[in-house]
Structure 1
Amino acid sequence: MREKRVSVTGGRPLIGVSTYLESKARWGVWELPAALLPAGYPRLVRAAGGLTAMLPPDDPSYADEVVARLDGVVIAGGPDVDPSRYGSEREERTGPPARERDAWELALIEAALASGTPLLGICRGMQLLNVALGGTLVQHMDGHVESVGVFGTHEVKPVPDTLYASIAPEASAVPTYHHQAVDRLGRDLIVSAYAEDGTVEAVELPSPRWVLGVQWHPEMGEDLRVMSALVQAAGERLRPR
């Protein structure tokens, strides 16, 4: 008979969320380097039934040990991925590199994939997942459904018979802010949602793995479905008591 297992937290699934690393941040009388996470992320995790652990950039060699203590991983939105990570030269409108964050989050992705830990990439996180699996990015999009450079909403349409379609079976409006997108798809990834103009809006790995990337920002809205699906998958992941 299979041994009964529970989450390492003993209750709600523990979801690790990667963070920004800023060389200068100001609060009160302080102005110091800081690891930052927009409050929408822990709010969304909590509303979906999970607990949040912040994962600031660290030595990539620690990623396996960190992920082993988590029930799920979220790679958050943020700056552009360094184009050298996918063999391209930096274009004029591509943002400055965040090399320390790239290295740490790529290590987290690799650790999650290797261990079968449920993984959600949000915006930059989806792009980095694609790069981690050998894909490339469009470094700048012009005229993408009026979302370039400003927060707005647009409609995404799920691809039938995908993980994302099982979460959100109908087209829906999502909060979005990005100027980059998936170009060549990484190995084994499949597209699970598109924007009206054909931009890839969600990617995933085939079952039984729970690996999903979305181009939009669910933490900026009220739709819990994507995060709830991650938390549910994390809760079903079995760990020794």
Structure 2
Amino acid sequence: MTAGPAQGTYRPRIGLTTYWQSAAWGVWDGTAAIVPGAYVRAVVDAGGSPLLLPPVGTDPSVIGLLDGLIVIGGVDVEPARYGAAPHPATVSQPGRDDHDLALTRAALETGTPLFAICRGAQVLNVALGGTLHQHLPEVREDAAQYQPAPGVFGSVDFTTEPGSIARQLLGKQASSPCYHHQGLDRIADGLCVTALASDGTVEVVEAAVGGPAGWTLGVQFHPEENGQDRRLFGGFVDAARTYATSRTAPERTAP
């Protein structure tokens, strides 16, 4: 597991997108901004300071306050965003799409380190003009393994490409918990595939040559659910720390 920062080391400010939906806390029951605790814990374990960004009152300029952005998992991206009709199994939240796409594009435009997880990787691909498979079991024979039952994570093994962030952080082969029924189809210009599952499912995308300038990583799986392996979060937080020190103090705090 990646160790936390040494005493006195700057803890980068990491924004995390959130759910916006019904929830219960204490004696209360209502609408709340929610982030599964595994994401927050992973950021803290890797040495970052988590800041939650709910999909209400979206302001893309908030990226100027951050050293890195994580776009977390969740419901499906609205198919109209990539020119498709909805599949019967597709469930989307247009307001959350507006938020996640706006923040993703702001991060890409400013070169802010971006870590896009599961739905986040799909948002990243769509933000740059790519498309999605809306229901992988219709495309891959054994794709049910990626979402074996409601609320039950599957596991995926994948192979990384030489020279990639994924290879640098994870080695040639790795595995991770996963939970998804959709996946990346046409990869957007500006991105390249750097890890595949054995059935050809795209597991990792990164910035291609001539693509986004900043540290950009999209993963189809759920690394936050593996508390014993913080290598991806460690690499991301290190990139955020480097990004922070490359800017002046006014740039880090400007709204």
User: What is the TM-score of this pair, normalised by structure 1?
Assistant: 0.91
Q: Secondary structure at the match of 1:88?
A: coil
Q: Secondary structure at the match of 1:74?
A: strand
Q: Secondary structure at the match of 2:98?
A: helix
* Paired position in structure 1 for 2:67: 71
1:173 is aligned with what amino acid?
S
Question: Which of residues 82, 96, 103 in structure 2 aligns to 1:108?
Answer: 103
Question: Which of residues 220, 229, 240 in structure 1 aligns to 2:235?
Answer: 229
**How far is 1:181 from its partner?**
0.3
- Indicate yes or no: 2:198 matched with 1:196: yes
**How far is 1:133 from its partner?**
0.5
State whether residues 125 and 187 of structure 2, in contact with CA within 8 Å, keep that contact through their aligned partners in structure 1.
yes
Structure 2 unaligned spans of 5+:
1-8, 250-255
State whether residues 149 and 178 of structure 1, in contact with CA within 8 Å, keep that contact through their aligned partners in structure 2.
no
Q: Secondary structure at the match of 1:59?
A: coil
* Paired position in structure 1 for 2:163: 161
- Indicate yes or no: 2:91 matched with 1:83: no
Please give the alpha-carbon distance, in whole angstroms, between the structure 2 residues aligned to 1:190 and 1:209.
14
- Indicate yes or no: 2:122 matched with 1:127: yes
**How far is 1:19 from its partner?**
0.4
- Indicate yes or no: 2:21 matched with 1:15: no
**How far is 1:149 from its partner?**
4.2
Question: Which of residues 167, 172, 176 in structure 2 aligns to 1:170?
Answer: 172
Q: Secondary structure at the match of 2:106?
A: helix
**How far is 1:37 from its partner?**
0.4
1:188 is aligned with what amino acid?
G
* Paired position in structure 1 for 2:38: 40
**How far is 1:187 from its partner?**
1.2
Q: Secondary structure at the match of 1:117?
A: coil
Amino-acid identity (%): 43
- Indicate yes or no: 2:247 matched with 1:239: yes
* Paired position in structure 2 for 1:5: none
Give the ranges of 4+ consecutive aligned residues of structure 1 lying more than 6 Å apart after TM superposition.
none
Please give the alpha-carbon distance, in whole angstroms, between the structure 2 residues aligned to 1:141 and 1:235.
36
2:78 is aligned with what amino acid?
D
Please give the alpha-carbon distance, in whole angstroms, between the structure 2 residues aligned to 1:149 and 1:240.
47
- Indicate yes or no: 2:230 matched with 1:209: no
2:183 is aligned with what amino acid?
A
**How far is 1:145 from its partner?**
6.4
Please give the alpha-carbon distance, in whole angstroms, between the structure 2 residues aligned to 1:145 and 1:169.
26
Q: Secondary structure at the match of 1:146?
A: helix
2:15 is aligned with what amino acid?
G
1:75 is aligned with what amino acid?
V
State whether residues 123 and 217 of structure 1, in contact with CA within 8 Å, keep that contact through their aligned partners in structure 2.
yes
User: What is the TM-score of this pair, normalised by structure 2?
Assistant: 0.86
State whether residues 42 and 224 of structure 2, in contact with CA within 8 Å, keep that contact through their aligned partners in structure 1.
yes
Please give the alpha-carbon distance, in whole angstroms, between the structure 1 residues aligned to 2:34 and 2:44.
18
2:121 is aligned with what amino acid?
M
* Paired position in structure 2 for 1:25: 23
Please give the alpha-carbon distance, in whole angstroms, between the structure 1 residues aligned to 2:101 and 2:146.
26
Q: Secondary structure at the match of 1:31?
A: strand
State whether residues 145 and 197 of structure 1, in contact with CA within 8 Å, keep that contact through their aligned partners in structure 2.
no
